[in-house]
Amino acid sequence: MLRQLFTRFTGCFSRRQFLEPGGYREIWRIAWPLVVLNASNTVMMITNRVFIARSSPEEIAAAMPAGQMFFTLMAFFLITTGFTATIVAQFHGHRDGIGCVKAAWNGFYFGAAVAALLAFALPAAGYWIIMHNGHDPVIALQEADYFVAMAPCAGLTCMETAFLSFFTGRGKTALVAGIKIIGCIVCIPMNYLLIFGGFGLPALGILGAGLANSFANLCTFAIALSFFLLVRQSEFPTRSYKAFDRVFIRRLLRFGMPAGFQTFLRNAAFAVVVMMIGHLGNEELTATSIALSINMIGNMPMIGLMDATSVVTGQFIGQRRLLVVERISGRSWRMLMCWTLSMGLLYWLAPEFLIRLFGSRNTASASMDMSQVTDYAVTILRFAAVFNILDATRFIAMGSLRGAGDTTVPLWIGMATSWLIQIPGTVLLVYVYRASIGAVWALITFYIAVDAALMVWRRRSGAWKKINLIGLPPASPAAELREHPEDASA
């Protein structure tokens, strides 16, 4: 028995698994810049939170719910626009350069319409929700300042995403990472200057943190547009095929909207959970904000590998090589587990060291017990060691499904688990039983486990093979093996 397990384990990391089409090497070639991109975003966000925490503990308590609410309200539009990368990936796999260009331009038109809408609606909607969330009035005002200052990021990010998707979908992820790193380099010093003041600028605290993020997004949008327009025109005529195309918009809405709604509903549910945690007390809310900020490190490669899984899946579907697609998600999952298990060990062995990064200079002004905050944060991090494994599983499964255009059923799965398990369970724990913060996070871990199991079930059902995103000819395993005999299983 042990020998069989060992043979199976070593077989998962054989030379062929690394070098064949859709192998570890190909996935990592696309994934590592996306991981770097997400790491730069994580560094930027953690730096932002560390600076805020050193400004005051009330501000770090406000940062997480306000940031979660901000992403929730823009998530539908951002993920829908980001589905442009999947469309580009399939066109690129099918060797249709003009299709890639048209997909990017029409993704931008959708993003621009979104930017116009969010410029007016987002600040008002977010401010109203935050001022009625039942949090301590001092913290709620800080949340509102942070949210409104970040509001311009939403439209800029959506427009930028369409152009970045043109490169991501084609596997040119190093360029995308470079652009986002520039944004990180701009944002970090701006955060420091605007939060603490300097060079004639006033100390704006959490308001300055939001403004710095908006300025960085403006820079990265301008750079992304420039690179898109300057690609080699003989191969990708980005300056010629700019026409609005209803077919591409319909395709984006049909397949991208379910993915956007799934992310929106999942994040909306979690935003509501964070607000309800605030009703347990300021210490519980601050501990949650600190622990989740730290857990950005634990999640750092997750989005990058999910997006890489989606891109590689889309490219091989475009080539009609479904036997290769079958093996991609398992390899991505194994790669992600190496990081997730390592971080989980760190959360168990040295949580206090990580928490100290978020110590405040102004603890004397705090109206909360910081030793209790530390205890609660340790509890949450130890749950994170478990639910990050489950999160990694569901994110890789979602990336694989998204690359195939299978977005509707995952939407229903996400809606059911978030709003039939997570929300009702948290209501009972917080308002009926007045349970501990540990009980709330145990429930969240259970919800993620159910969600992950259902996503894996959908992936293994094979229903994604029947979805035709860009009008490709039917796939035939026999024809694939005749043309690509190397695709046969090891």
Distances (CA, A) of 238 to 38, 228, 372: 27, 7, 56
Q: Shortest CA distance to 163 belongs to which of 112, 215, 235, 94?
A: 112
Question: What pTM was estimated for this model as a whole?
Answer: 0.84
pLDDT values of the chain reduced to their tens digit, one per residue, 490 residues? 666 766 776 767 788 888 888 889 999 999 999 888 777 777 777 776 777 777 666 677 777 677 777 777 788 888 999 999 999 999 999 999 999 999 999 999 998 998 888 777 777 777 787 777 666 777 778 777 777 777 788 888 899 999 999 999 999 999 998 998 888 788 788 777 887 777 777 777 777 777 888 888 888 899 999 999 999 999 899 999 999 999 999 999 999 999 999 988 888 888 889 889 988 888 888 888 889 888 988 888 898 999 999 999 999 999 988 989 999 999 999 999 999 999 999 999 989 888 887 655 444 444 667 788 889 999 999 999 999 999 999 999 999 999 999 999 999 999 999 999 999 999 999 999 889 999 999 999 999 999 999 999 999 999 999 998 988 877 777 776 777 777 676 5
Q: What own/partner pairs with CB < 8 Å and gap ≥ 24 does 255-258 have?
A: 255/83, 255/86, 255/87, 255/405, 255/407, 255/469, 256/79, 256/80, 256/81, 256/82, 256/83, 256/84, 256/407, 257/76, 257/80, 257/407, 258/407, 258/408, 258/410, 258/411
Residue spans per domain, the chain: 19-480
Strand partners, 201: 198
Q: Which residue has the tokens 């520039």?
A: 182
Do the Cβ atoms of 158 and 108 come closer than 8 Å? no
Greatest alpha-carbon span in the chain: 73
